[in-house]
Structure 1
Amino acid sequence: MNSGKKEKFRNDEAILDIGDRPQFGHWLVLSIQHLFTMFGATVLVPLLVGINPSIALFSSGVGTLVYILCTNAKIPAYLGSSFAFIVTMQALMKADGYPAVGQGAISAGLVYVIVSLLIGRFGSAWVDRILPPVVVGPIIIVIGLSLATTAANDAMLKNSNYDLKYFGVAIFTLLITIIFNMFLRGFSSMIPVLLGIICGYLMALATGIVNLQAVAAAKWFSLPAFNVMFINYHFKWYPAAIIGMAPIAFVTMTEHMGHIMVLNKLTKRNFFKDPGLHRTLFGDGLSSVIAGFVGGPPTTSYGENIGVLAMTKVHSVWVLGGAALFAILFSFVGKVSALIQSIPSPVIGGISFLLFGMIASNGLRILVDNHVNYELKRNLIITSVILVIGIGGTYLKLGSFQLTSIALATLFGIVLNLVLPVKASSEK
Structure 2
Amino acid sequence: MTEKNFRNEEAVLDIHDRPKVTHWVGLSLQHLFTMFGATVLVPILVGIDPGIALVSSGLGTIVYLFVTKGKIPAYLGSSFAFIAAMQMLMKSDGYPAIAQGAITTGLVYLIVSIIISKIGSAWLDKILPPIVVGPVVMVIGLGLASNAANNAMFNKGEYDFKFIAVALITLGLTIFYNMFFKGFLGLIPILLGIVSGYLIALLFGIVDVEPIKNAAWFAMPNFEIPFVQYQPKLHLNAITTMAPIAFVTMTEHIGHLMVLNKLTKRNFFQVPGLSKTLMGDGAAQIVAGLVGGPPVTSYGENIGVLAITRVHSVFVIAGAAVFAVGLGFVGKLSAVILSIPGPVISGISFVLFGVIAASGLKILIDNQINFDKKKNLLIASVILVVGIGGLVFKLDTFELSSMALATVLGIILNLILPETARSEEKTN
TM-score bracket, normalised by the shorter chain, equals over 0.9
SS at match of 2:77: strand
Q: Find the counterpart in structure 1 of residue 80 from structure 2.
A: 83
SS at match of 2:184: helix
**Aligned runs of 1:245-256 on 2, under 5 Å?**
245-256=242-253
Q: Find the counterpart in structure 2 of residue 379 from structure 1.
A: 376
* 2: CA distance, partners of 1:106 / 1:348: 31
Q: 1:328 aligns with which of 325, 330, 343?
A: 325
The reply to whether residue 162 of structure 1 matches residue 174 of structure 2 is: no
Q: 1:223 aligns with which of 199, 220, 230?
A: 220
Q: 1:311 aligns with which of 308, 312, 327?
A: 308
Greater alpha carbon shift after TM alignment, 360-369 vs 157-166: 157-166
Q: 2:52 aligns with which of 35, 52, 55?
A: 55
The reply to whether residue 135 of structure 1 matches residue 135 of structure 2 is: no
SS at match of 1:84: helix
Q: How far apart are residue 160 of structure 1 and its match?
A: 4.3
Query: Does structure 1 retain, via aligned residues, the 8 Å contact 2:97–2:235?
Result: yes
SS at match of 1:80: strand
* 2: CA distance, partners of 1:426 / 1:300: 44
Q: How far apart are residue 235 of structure 1 and its match?
A: 1.5
The reply to whether residue 10 of structure 1 matches residue 7 of structure 2 is: yes
Q: Find the counterpart in structure 2 of residue 290 from structure 1.
A: 287
Q: Find the counterpart in structure 2 of residue 275 from structure 1.
A: 272
Q: How far apart are residue 159 of structure 1 and its match?
A: 2.0
The reply to whether residue 46 of structure 1 matches residue 40 of structure 2 is: no
Q: How far apart are residue 422 of structure 1 and its match?
A: 1.2
Query: Does structure 2 retain, via aligned residues, the 8 Å contact 1:7–1:19?
Result: no
Greater alpha carbon shift after TM alignment, 176-185 vs 156-165: 156-165
Q: How far apart are residue 153 of structure 1 and its match?
A: 2.2
Amino acid at match of 2:258: M
Q: Which runs of 5+ in 2 are unaligned?
A: none
Amino acid at match of 1:361: A
Query: Does structure 1 retain, via aligned residues, the 8 Å contact 2:106–2:283?
Result: yes
Query: Does structure 2 retain, via aligned residues, the 8 Å contact 1:157–1:345?
Result: no
Q: How far apart are residue 7 of structure 1 and its match?
A: 4.3
Q: How far apart are residue 152 of structure 1 and its match?
A: 1.2
Which whole-Å deviations, capped at 9, do the CAs of 1:118-144 have from their partners, x for residues lacking one? Answer: 101110001111000000000011111
Amino acid at match of 2:343: P
Amino acid at match of 2:126: R
* 1: CA distance, partners of 2:16 / 2:232: 42
Q: Find the counterpart in structure 2 of residue 425 from structure 1.
A: 422
TM-score by length of 2: 0.98
Q: How far apart are residue 158 of structure 1 and its match?
A: 4.6
* 2: CA distance, partners of 1:28 / 1:130: 40
SS at match of 1:202: helix
SS at match of 2:297: strand
Q: How far apart are residue 232 of structure 1 and its match?
A: 0.9
Root-mean-square deviation over aligned CA pairs: 0.9
Query: Does structure 2 retain, via aligned residues, the 8 Å contact 1:218–1:335?
Result: yes
Query: Does structure 1 retain, via aligned residues, the 8 Å contact 2:17–2:313?
Result: yes
Q: Find the counterpart in structure 2 of residue 214 from structure 1.
A: 211
Which whole-Å deviations, capped at 9, do the CAs of 1:41-85 have from their partners, x for residues lacking one? Answer: 000000000000000000000000000011110100000000000
Amino acid at match of 1:298: P
Query: Does structure 1 retain, via aligned residues, the 8 Å contact 2:155–2:163?
Result: no
What is the identity percentage for the equivalent residue pairs of Structure 1 and Structure 2? Answer: 63
Report the number of matched residues.
423
Q: 1:244 aligns with which of 223, 241, 246?
A: 241
Which whole-Å deviations, capped at 9, do the CAs of 1:274-333 have from their partners, x for residues lacking one? Answer: 000011111111111111111100000000000000000000010000000000011011
* 1: CA distance, partners of 2:157 / 2:344: 15
Q: 1:368 aligns with which of 359, 365, 369?
A: 365
* 2: CA distance, partners of 1:25 / 1:7: 27
Which whole-Å deviations, capped at 9, do the CAs of 1:233-277 have from their partners, x for residues lacking one? Answer: 111111111100000000000001000000000000000000000
Query: Does structure 1 retain, via aligned residues, the 8 Å contact 2:116–2:274?
Result: yes
Amino acid at match of 1:23: K
Q: Find the counterpart in structure 1 of residue 406 from structure 2.
A: 409
Q: How far apart are residue 165 of structure 1 and its match?
A: 0.3
* 2: CA distance, partners of 1:153 / 1:81: 21
Q: Find the counterpart in structure 2 of residue 342 from structure 1.
A: 339
* 1: CA distance, partners of 2:147 / 2:115: 35
Q: How far apart are residue 230 of structure 1 and its match?
A: 2.4
Q: 1:147 aligns with which of 144, 149, 154?
A: 144
Amino acid at match of 1:68: L
TM-score by length of 1: 0.98
Q: Find the counterpart in structure 2 of residue 204 from structure 1.
A: 201
Q: Find the counterpart in structure 2 of residue 3 from structure 1.
A: none
Which whole-Å deviations, capped at 9, do the CAs of 1:183-229 have from their partners, x for residues lacking one? Answer: 11111110000000000000000011111111111111111110002
SS at match of 1:186: coil
Q: Find the counterpart in structure 2 of residue 302 from structure 1.
A: 299
Q: How far apart are residue 389 of structure 1 and its match?
A: 0.9
* 1: CA distance, partners of 2:40 / 2:176: 29
SS at match of 1:397: strand
Query: Does structure 2 retain, via aligned residues, the 8 Å contact 1:376–1:423?
Result: yes
The reply to whether residue 112 of structure 1 matches residue 103 of structure 2 is: no
* 2: CA distance, partners of 1:111 / 1:126: 20
* 2: CA distance, partners of 1:22 / 1:269: 21
